[in-house]
């Protein structure tokens, strides 16, 4: 009687490993994390199933979606190599692709990803809820660790618990004025020059 051949015992499952290999995210020497609400437009942004995304005219009379986008375009003019990452609830709703369609084509072309992407983080409710509850600075820091840019900056109005060690990476906005504020525009230009300047110095 022949011996029963047993199949090899399956390897122990590594519970720390993800279900699938996450793709290597795109990176750049200088990545600027860009929030939308409170940066490119007033912070009073809402969503309605029929109306879609809109700015409350009750809370922010006279304001419109993406009204301050041209300030970002102007600040980046001298830095063609700077790449952008979407750092906003717009990554979840309406989603990265649809969010980018709202932007001018030249600006859109600079984007290399978002801090949240359904294909990377999965779209199940737990993953979405977990991301939403993660502080903004940590959403960004987690992306920095994945993407590993040489330098990074963040343009955001969600700055309450921003850690001291990352303050130099932050250009903080007031959600009511965003990039329309001259101080913010100047600080963004200064920090772009500071970080892009480091690259030029090391390249030379
Ligand atoms: Mg915001």
Q: How many domains does the chain have?
A: 1
* Residue 120 lies in domain: 30-203
Q: In this structure, is residue 55 part of a structural domain?
A: yes
Q: In this structure, is residue 165 part of a structural domain?
A: yes
Q: In this structure, is residue 6 part of a structural domain?
A: no
Q: In this structure, is residue 20 part of a structural domain?
A: no
Measure 69 CA to ligand 1 centroid, in angstroms. Answer: 14
Instruction: Give the pLDDT confidence of 27-66 residue by residue, as tens digits.
Output: 889 999 999 999 999 999 998 888 889 999 999 999 999 9
Look over the chain and give the mean of its residue pLDDT values, rounded to a whole number.
87
Q: In this structure, is residue 14 part of a structural domain?
A: no
Measure 155 CA to ligand 1 centroid, in angstroms. Answer: 9
Q: In this structure, is residue 24 part of a structural domain?
A: no
pLDDT of res. 130: 87
pLDDT of res. 204: 39
* Confidence check: pLDDT of 14 > 80: no
Measure 197 CA to ligand 1 centroid, in angstroms. Answer: 28
Instruction: Give the pLDDT confidence of 156-197 residue by residue, as tens digits.
Output: 999 989 999 999 999 999 999 999 999 999 999 999 999 886
* Confidence check: pLDDT of 2 > 90: no
Give the CATH number of the domain where residue 151 resides: 3.40.50
Measure 19 CA to ligand 1 centroid, in angstroms. Answer: 31
Percentage of residues in the chain with pLDDT exceeding 70?
Answer: 85
Measure 84 CA to ligand 1 centroid, in angstroms. Answer: 16
Q: In this structure, is residue 66 part of a structural domain?
A: yes
Residue 128 or residue 10, greater confidence: 128
Measure 44 CA to ligand 1 centroid, in angstroms. Answer: 9
Residue 204 or residue 192, greater confidence: 192
pLDDT of res. 93: 86
Measure 13 CA to ligand 1 centroid, in angstroms. Answer: 40
Can you give the pTM of this predicted structure? 0.85
Measure 78 CA to ligand 1 centroid, in angstroms. Answer: 25
DSSP-assigned letters across all residues of the chain: -PPPPPPPPPPPP-TTS-SSPPPPPP--SEEEEE--BTTTB-S-EEEETTTEEEE-TTTSTT--TTTTHHHHHHHHTT-TT-EEEE-SGGGTTTTHHHHHTTS-HHHHTTEEEES--HHHH--SHHHHHHHHHS-HHHHHHHHHHHH--SEEEEEES--TT--GGGGGGEEE--TTTGGG-HHHHHHHHHHHHHHHHHHHHHH-
**Average pLDDT score over residue span 104-125:** 87
Q: In this structure, is residue 151 part of a structural domain?
A: yes
Measure 186 CA to ligand 1 centroid, in angstroms. Answer: 19
pLDDT of res. 203: 46
């Amino acid at each position: 009687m022949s011996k029963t051949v047993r199949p090899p015992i399956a390897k122990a499952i590594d519970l720390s490993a993800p279900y699938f290999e996450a793709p290597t995210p795109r990176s750049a020497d200088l990545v600027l994390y860009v929030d939308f609400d409170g940066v490119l437009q007033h912070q009073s942004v809402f969503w309605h199933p029929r109306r879609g995304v809109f700015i409350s005219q009750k809370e922010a009379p006279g304001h419109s979606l993406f009204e301050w986008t041209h300030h970002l375009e102007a600040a980046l003019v001298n830095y063609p190599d700077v790449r952008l990452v979407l750092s906003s609830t717009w990554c979840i709703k309406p989603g990265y692709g649809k969010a980018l369609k709202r932007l001018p084509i030249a600006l859109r072309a600079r984007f290399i990803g978002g801090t949240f992407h359904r294909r990377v983080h999965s779209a199940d409710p737990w993953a979405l809820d977990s991301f939403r509850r993660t502080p903004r600075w940590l959403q960004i820091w987690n992306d920095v660790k994945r993407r590993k840019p040489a330098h990074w900056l963040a343009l955001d109005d969600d700055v309450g618990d921003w850690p001291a060690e990352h303050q130099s990476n932050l250009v903080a906005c007031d959600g009511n004025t965003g990039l329309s504020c001259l101080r913010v525009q100047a600080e963004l230009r200064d920090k772009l020059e500071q970080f892009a300047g480091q690259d030029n110095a090391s390249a030379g």
